[in-house]
A = this chain, B = another copy of it.
Amino acid sequence: MNVAPSDLGRRTGTVDMVHGGGGRAMTELIRDLFQRHLSNPILDQGHDAALLEASSGRLVVSTDGHVISPLFFPGGDIGSLSVHGTLNDVAMAGARPLCLTAGFILEEGFPLADLERIVMSMAAAASEAGVPVATGDTKVVEKGKGDGVFITTTGLGVVPDGVEISVTRAKPGQAILLSGSIGDHGVAILSKRENLEFETEIVSDSNALHTLVADMIEAVPDIAVLRDPTRGGLAATLNELARAAGVGMHLDESAIPVKGDVAAACELLGLDPLHVANEGKLVCLCEQADADRLLSVMRAHPLGRDAAIIGRVTDDEARLVEMETEIGGLRVVDWLSGEQLPRIC
């Protein structure tokens, strides 16, 4: 992100319907804003379809729409989130990301200075991750038919030979590892939305996990399952896994990291951290014999410093996720019908 903001915002002020029209105004917006900040050899080809280097291997592709509200929040914004969210989906297949694409849907009247801030943040996140935005698209809808900016990103990656990460490999007896504390993202968004103030600002954990995953795979190529507990939180992710794989889960509540201020905020807001979205955490299932080695590799990575073994996969026909509570009881970790917090990503 070495490029200064353009004078586009000062010149024209807000997004106009002509910016989506396929004519000169759109070409200028793309050149002065998107290409200016996201510039890389692939994007700079300037084609509707980006041509990548020849590649071989098993490809993965993943797509994610981002409609988060508010657009700017502690720890990120819709631009960085749209990079992290999709890179993480690619990484959860064990893949090395190749590139991203970005489709913007802009609302007429949205300040161009805010759009530029978002694009610069997207550029910084992509550059930090080492993954180029290969191509993009811009559409504009009338005022009142959108909500500022929506960004749909798609990620492409290549799975290293020998890696077979799949929900079908979840088996009773495996260890369940979590890369760090839960609930940070959802609580950061809700605090911002509700103008809540805490002693220390709660910051989203939004981050790209592919380098953590690369370290984990290098140490233990046999990892069975990886998932990022986003919408619906850890509870939804584990229930989805249990249902899909036909297994149960047994968790140890005292082992699940929750930051003190996040726990306090959840209590205040009536939320269960297990159901709150994360954007920089992963869950991993692996053989017990590999668990300690994997844990130490995770803890050696900046994004896995608080990693923990939080439970094990069980042989349960009812596919329940159970949790031994801190006071020694056993409760079922259920799966909500919806999400406590809409538009969290």
Residues of chain A touching chain B, judged by Cβ–Cβ distance below 8 Å, are 16-27, 45-67, 89-90, 92-93, 95, 99, 101-105, 134-142, 144-147, 150, 152, 154-157, 159, 166-167, 230-233, 236, 240, 244, 277, 335-340, 342-343, 345
Contact, CB under 8 Å: A56 / B59: no
Q: A154-B63, A240-B27 are in contact. Are A342 and B22 (CB under 8 A)?
A: no
- The reply to whether A61 and B21 form a contact with Cβ atoms under 8 Å apart is no
Secondary structure class of chain A's binding surface, majority of residues: mixed
Chain B nearest CB, measured from A47 CB (Å): 7
Question: Given A61-B49, A62-B101, A93-B47, do A17 and B154 touch, yes or no (CB 8 Å)?
Answer: no
6 A-B residue pairs with Cβ-Cβ distance under 8 Å, sorted by A, are A21-B340, A49-B61, A53-B58, A63-B102, A63-B137, A67-B139
- Closest chain B residue to A343, Cβ basis: B141
CA A167 to CA B64, docked complex, whole Å: 30
The CA-CA distance from A140 to B232 in the complex, in Å, is 14
Please state if B338 and A61 are interface contacts (CB–CB under 8 Å): no
* Docked CA distance A25–B245 (Å): 19
> In the assembled complex, how far is the CB of residue A56 from the closest CB belonging to chain B, in whole angstroms?
4
Closest chain B residue to A54 by CB distance?
B58
